[in-house]
Amino acid sequence: MKAMRIALLGAGTVASGVVRVLHRNQDELCRRAGRGIEVVAVAARNADKARRAVGDALPLTEDFMGLATREDVDIVAELMGGIEPARELVLAAIRAGKHVVTANKALLALHGNEIFAAAQEHGVMVAFEAAVAGGIPIIKAVREGLAANRIEWVAGIINGTTNFILSSMRDKGVDFATALAEAQRLGYAEADPTFDIDGIDAAHKITILCAIAFGVPVQFDRVHVQGIRDLETADIRYAEQLGYRIKLLGITRRAEDGIELRVHPTLIPSTRLVANVEGAMNAVVVQGDAVGSTLFYGKGAGSEPTASSVIADLVDITRLHTADPEHRVPHLAFQPGALADTPILSMPQVRTSYYLRIRVRDEAGVLAEITHILAEHGMSIDALLQRPSGEDDQHTDVILLTHETVEQRMDQALARIQALDTVLAPVVRLRKEELR
């Protein structure tokens, strides 16, 4: 059968991996897909850089739009990143009847609803396995492998840069700035690491996972985002002493009144498998009512790991492109007309547990006053540490773990605690999840 013809938009790290793996595994892929898969051309802004990435055999062009809509192209693989012109090019390819594969989590988190609606209208597929967790096939797992389940929650380490930084802070006892510099030196962090360390990259990914887990539209504007740049080594050390590790998690959970959607540093019991995911690795835990807890682990970035997911999408589309559009797997797992309008909860409505580090004067009665305030707001203490912090031992760190409560109550209690004249610094608050 005639090979499926692929246009690559972008000639960076992922595109180079796609070209290498397609060439290396072409016979195997043909056996799986039923026909060959070949790249017909690559669109790139910098010809010299593109040649180094994809070799000399493939035609290059600077005309992204022309390649995206070229008559003899079957699938457009958008691997350039960013919002524009990626959005414009993807929509143009869809209108021209091309299937699309993308690794662009930001594009889908912000404009996925528009893109999926256009794809449905024009009878084409948009595949995006590589947009979340790199080489881990988490999209297919949630959308298809766990289709029998009512998904209860999804929680994941879905940004390798922040996981590397947190692992370094714990293992080496270094501060955030030192760990970040090491990540940049080793190539795990960009020169401008803002999207990673501020949680934005993870927020894009958990937004997509939320949509396919619960059958709701993508809603990036509703996700709560907190990064790791304010984390201190002391908090990582105290968490260890209490039997926990701190990870930046993306969490989405079915709740009584809606859906939680949040990214923040989180204490996880050190006995959980996901708490022991170190370095730049990714892991996602999915809780289903029938299957229970499942863990998906692997490389969340890199040339060939991400190419693995891109090419898996190319194989899927090659298998299904002649199928009736009504018989294909829906983009967001649920039929387009069956997406729910379940609300995304604001953070004050979320129910979770907390880690509090409160620096106070080392005086009698201070701890009793703090616990009394928490009790008045309906909160109980799960565990407690008290550690000297100053050279003169005139102040101390009080570390508390609470049982579950609504965040609004915690906000109110912390406002009162912070106002105490015995509290000497801003209270550090982190959320805690048992993931069970």
Per-residue pLDDT of the chain (436 residues; tens, 9 = 90+): 899 999 999 999 999 999 999 999 999 999 999 999 999 999 999 888 899 888 888 999 999 999 999 999 999 999 999 999 999 999 999 999 999 999 999 999 999 999 999 999 999 999 999 999 999 999 999 999 999 999 999 999 999 999 999 999 999 999 999 999 999 999 999 999 999 999 999 999 999 999 999 999 999 999 999 999 999 999 999 999 999 999 999 999 999 999 999 999 999 999 999 999 999 999 999 999 999 999 999 999 999 999 999 999 999 999 998 888 888 999 999 999 999 999 999 999 999 999 999 999 988 899 999 999 999 999 999 999 988 765 666 889 999 999 999 999 999 999 999 999 999 999 999 999 999 8
In this prediction, residue 391 carries a pLDDT of 60
Residue type, 175: D
Residue type, 157: I
Contact (CB, 8 A) for 103 and 310: yes
The string of pLDDT tens digits covering residues 204-253 is: 999 999 999 999 999 999 999 999 999 999 999 999 999 999 999 999 99
Query: 205 catalytic, yes or no?
Result: yes
Cis peptide before 85 (omega within 30 of 0): yes
- Provide the sign of the torsion angle of the four alpha carbons 10, 15, 18, 23, taken in this order: positive
In this prediction, residue 392 carries a pLDDT of 63
What pairs with residue 285 in β-bridges?
A: 155, 295
The string of pLDDT tens digits covering residues 143-167 is: 999 999 999 999 999 999 999 999 9
- Spot the catalytic one: 205, 247, 299, 432: 205
